[in-house]
């Protein structure tokens, strides 16, 4: 028989999903068996149930026999003087970084679509762009996320722009710590163009929350915390052109945002500690600023630390 899709599913002790990324389509199942290799992801210490799963032609999913996956605590990372630009006190541990050297995206860290590859639909239905992996590139020591005025089809409809998106879903996540980006957002007439965003979120939105380190909203450069029953943000004044650093520090019950190394905004309402993965995108839509195409969101680096 032929399975329309196969994948590897994982459930934690409370039944929550932690599936491995990726799936294979049109798999012919034979007595000799079939080997499927999923993408990689990190797991917190604990006990999990892992099983293969296949989907029939009518869309129904069927689990295969399961095994127990036991994950031990990660080895400690030595402390160093490294840390975000706003805190030189030391004691930080580098958890993740990408300096975007070389000529291609590190696909062991980043995926180039939203729940798919190639051309995918947007994160938010208020966006009027599809994401296309061909609009993602690395050159000159920076990541380039390009938005064009070319029509694209995704999620069953044609959208009037084609944007770019990368994320670390299944490859890296963190709970609490500091995140910093050095980026150059697209701008026109002194305003942030389009709807670029540097952010992170968890597997279960909005329960796990969403931290927008930088989101271009109506021409402003803003920071936001979204969670169940909470939607709070701030748009600090400052230059909208050129290179800037955007960061946040996430602590139990508290998030503080930084712009060019200075604190600009703090939220304490509804802050939770569920693991988040990183997301960067360049798109346009209902909440964006003035349209500029072609336009390039450039990222010099992204770094994540823990105390």
Percent of the chain clearing pLDDT 70 (strictly above)? 97
Tell which residue, 141, 178, 146, 166, has the closest CA to residue 301.
141
CB 8 within 8 A of CB 27: no
Average pLDDT (57-86) is 78
200 pLDDT more than 50: yes
Distance set, CA 87 to CA 83, 133, 211, 212, 253 (Å): 6, 35, 20, 20, 19
Mean pLDDT highest for which of 37-41, 88-92, 96-100, 226-230? 96-100
Q: Say what the pLDDT of residue 80 is.
A: 46
Query: In the 8-state DSSP scheme, what is residue 112?
Result: S
CB 160 within 8 A of CB 291: no
Q: How many Cβ atoms are within 10 Å of 161's Cβ, its own excluded?
A: 25
Average pLDDT (249-270) is 96
50 pLDDT more than 80: yes
78 pLDDT more than 70: no
Distance in angstroms (rounded) separating the CA atoms of residues 298 and 175: 26
Band of the pLDDT at 81, cuts 50, 70, 90? low
292 pLDDT more than 70: yes
Q: Say what the pLDDT of residue 282 is.
A: 98
pLDDT tens digits, 208-240: 999 999 999 999 999 999 999 999 999 988 778
pLDDT tens digits, 146-175: 999 999 999 999 999 999 999 999 999 999
Average pLDDT, the chain: 92
Q: Say what the pLDDT of residue 33 is.
A: 78
Tell which residue, 217, 176, 221, has the closest CA to residue 200.
176
**pTM of the predicted model over 0.85:** no
Q: Say what the pLDDT of residue 74 is.
A: 58
40 pLDDT more than 80: no
76 pLDDT more than 70: no
Average pLDDT (238-264) is 93
CB 258 within 8 A of CB 221: no
Phi, psi (degrees; rounded to nearest 5) at 145 = -115, 110
Q: Say what the pLDDT of residue 79 is.
A: 44
Band of the pLDDT at 43, cuts 50, 70, 90? confident
């Amino acid at each position: 028989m032929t399975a329309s899709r196969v994948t590897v599913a994982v459930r934690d002790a409370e039944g929550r999903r932690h599936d491995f990324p990726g799936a294979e389509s049109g798999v012919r199942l034979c007595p000799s068996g079939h080997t499927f290799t999923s993408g990689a992801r990190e797991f917190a210490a604990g006990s999990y149930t892992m099983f293969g799963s296949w989907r029939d032609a009518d869309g129904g999913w069927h689990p295969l026999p399961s095994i127990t996956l036991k994950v031990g605590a990660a080895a400690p990372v030595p402390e160093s003087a490294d840390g975000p630009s706003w805190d030189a006190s030391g004691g930080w541990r580098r958890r993740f970084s990408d300096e975007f050297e070389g000529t291609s995206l590190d696909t062991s860290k980043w995926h180039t679509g939203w729940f798919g590859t190639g051309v995918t639909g947007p994160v938010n239905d208020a966006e009027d762009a599809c994401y296309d992996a061909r609009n993602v590139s690395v050159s000159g020591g920076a990541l380039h996320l390009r938005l064009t005025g070319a029509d694209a089809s995704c999620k069953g409809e044609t959208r009037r722009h084609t944007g770019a998106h990368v994320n670390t879903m299944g490859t890296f996540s963190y709970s609490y710590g500091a995140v910093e980006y050095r980026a150059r957002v697209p701008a026109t007439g002194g305003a942030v163009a389009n709807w670029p965003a540097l952010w992170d979120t968890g597997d279960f939105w909005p329960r796990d929350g969403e931290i927008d380190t930088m989101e271009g909203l109506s021409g402003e450069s803003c920071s936001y915390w979204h969670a169940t029953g909470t939607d709070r943000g701030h748009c600090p004044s400052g230059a909208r052109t050129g290179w800037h650093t955007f960061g946040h520090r996430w602590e139990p019950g508290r998030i503080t945002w930084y712009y060019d190394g200075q604190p600009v905004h703090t939220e304490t309402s509804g802050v939770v500690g569920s693991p988040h993965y990183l997301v960067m995108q360049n798109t346009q839509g209902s909440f964006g600023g003035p349209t500029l195409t072609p336009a390039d969101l450039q990222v010099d680096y992204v770094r994540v630390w823990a105390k």
